[in-house]
Structure 1
Amino acid sequence: MSSTAEYVAVFAAGIGSGILISTVGFASLLSFPVLLAVGLPPVVANVSNTIGLTPAGLSGSFGYRRELREQPVVTAVVLATCAGGAVLGVVLLLSLPSGVFAAVVPYLILVTCLLVGLQPIITRVLRRGREPAARVRLSGLTTTFCTLVGVYGGYFGGGSGVMMMAVLGFGADLELRVVNALKTLSVAAGNVVAAAVFVVLAEVDWAAAGLLAVGSGAGGYVGALIGRRLPATLLRVLIVLGGLVAAVMMLV
């Protein structure tokens, strides 16, 4: 980066990406292309982007603290599984070719968004004719899938928040605003682990990472304020649309 306009663009991308993390997810749709546009090599841009967006997940989780307090056990499970899974994901990232998931990720995101969009309908069909007790604890199977999402988040990351929303949407009976808060927390856990490793082992453009961090920290908190006020149906629609855009961008 060499001009004031580029610095401003990266900072603005940080604010926008922070808002996206706490609402619909897919924050890298905005920030990563901007880093490439200002001249960062792809690997440096990816590393700097992860570090720069870490404050967004943290501030967003703080903004959603009321929702997270409503389900302390589920919050603890999501935090532990995603942080632990991300450790394994980072190990895989450092030991496997970077393109291992590249071919399948767009289709994985498409399927996940379809599940998020259709989850209320599928759940109603599956429960037709019976009134099961509300599920506010995570089963062993759901916990396993949370861990797998954490692994994916540490390795690749794109769409991990929406994958978590799909897992929790089918694995527990929680309000969408609470699921969105847990999604934001899961992204934060994965980014913190990955960022800690990148700081030590990878090349970072600290100017870009710093501008993103300041902007995304503010944006993440604002996004949480917006996210808790969005009607559940509108939020679900926005998440699906964001996933479709992300998948198409990855395919082309």
Structure 2
Amino acid sequence: MTFWLFIYFIGAGILGGLLASIAGLASLVSYPALLIAGIPPVIANVTNTAGLVLSGIGATASSSRELRGEGKLVTGLTALTLAGGILGSALLLIEPASTFEHVVPFFILSAGVLLLVSGHQADRKNVPALRDQNKFGLVLKAIGLFLIGAYTGYFGAAGGVIILAILTLSLPQRFAVLNAFKNVMAFMANAVATIIYAWTGKIDWLVVLPLGIGFLIGGYCGPIVVRHVPVRLLRILIAFAAFGLAVDLFVKAYF
């Protein structure tokens, strides 16, 4: 690997880490960057997932303020996505992710819509979360998070933004706190997926090194940005970024 290619991967990791920890949309940058560098799609996918573990470490460390006192809740939520992530990663070893490409754009589009219609955070302070309303809502949320965990382990594109959309609709915490939850959940799902992928020998560890350095930096900076950007603006930007990714994946899948 040349010096400039090493720097290129660090830069892609920083931007990807920022998008991952702010919006769960690292796929807008890091995965395409790997493809541009000439890495085959399957290897690029698993290598990107391995690098995202570093983004999760950085984001979790930076989110200690938001996670304080939320240990029990975030542990339960993470367990759901982790179980799903194990299933999804195992499925990827059996069936290629290309079989899922035709429905992924609609998942991401739906996540963007959910973020837009979920309402302003200030208007939701006195609105009970789904978990407090009825057992049916709790079951729906649990099933949803398990399935998104499986999706993240299997395909991964914009899994974080879909998790964020579900959390935004089902929990009353501030957006920055929900984003911290999302970062921990995505971190654990990617970590488990990486352990499973490592057995296949397809991860390009030489690329993971510079990419991971960038992811760690970007992941750490993301929660800091979230604290200072207006929630309404951030929600809109994430939603429209999701729409853009959905359109791009739709074109690639159908045309």
Whether TM-score is above 0.5 comes out as yes
Which 5+ residue runs of structure 1 have no aligned equivalent? none
State the number of aligned residues.
Answer: 245
Q: What CA distance in whole angstroms lies between the structure 2 residues aligned with 1:102 and 1:89?
A: 14
**CA distance in 1: counterparts of 2:62 and 2:19, whole angstroms:** 14
Q: Tell me the residue number matched to 2:46.
A: 47
Conserved 8 A contact 1:14-1:214? yes
* Mapped contact 1:136–1:174 kept (Cα < 8 A): no
Q: Please name the residue that 1:197 is paired with.
A: 196
What's the counterpart of residue 241 of structure 2?
242
Provide Cα deviations, 1:184-210, integer angstroms capped at 9, x if missing partner.
112111110111111222312222111
2:27–2:158 contact (8 Å) kept in structure 1: no
Q: Which residue of 2 aligns with 1:92?
A: 91
How far residue 85 of structure 1 moved from its aligned partner, in angstroms, is: 1.2
CA distance in 1, matches of 2:105, 2:58: 28
**RMSD of aligned residue pairs (Cα, Å):** 2.1
What one-letter code is carried by the residue in structure 1 that aligns with 2:149? Answer: G
The TM-score normalised by the length of structure 2 is: 0.89
Normalised to the residue count of structure 1, the TM-score between the two structures is: 0.90
Q: Is the 8 A contact 2:63 2:180 kept in 1?
A: yes
Give the whole-Å Cα distance in 2 for the aligned partners of 1:182 and 1:59.
13
Contact 2:130 2:138 in 1 (8 A): no
Counterpart mapping for 1:44-193 below 5 A: 44-120=43-119, 133=128, 139-193=138-192
Give the 3-state SS of the residue equivalent to 1:201 in structure 2: coil
Per-residue deviation, 1:132: 5.7
Q: List per-residue Cα deviations over 1:39-83 (Å, max 9, x = no partner).
A: 111111111111112110121012112212242222111211111
Which amino acid is 1:81 matched to?
L
The residue type equivalent to 1:242 in the other structure is A
Offset at 1:234?
Answer: 1.2
Distance in 2 (alpha carbons) for counterparts of 1:101 and 1:134: 31
> For the Cα contact (< 8 Å) 2:131–2:138, is it kept in 1?
no
Cα offset, 1:100, TM superposition:
2.2
Segments of structure 2 that go 5 or more residues without pairing to the other structure are none
- Deviation of the 1:211 alpha carbon: 0.7
Letter matched to residue 186 of structure 1 = M
Residues in 1 aligned to 2:243 and 2:130: alpha-carbon distance in whole angstroms: 30
Aligned 8 A contact 2:14 2:218 in 1: yes
1:14 corresponds to which residue? 13
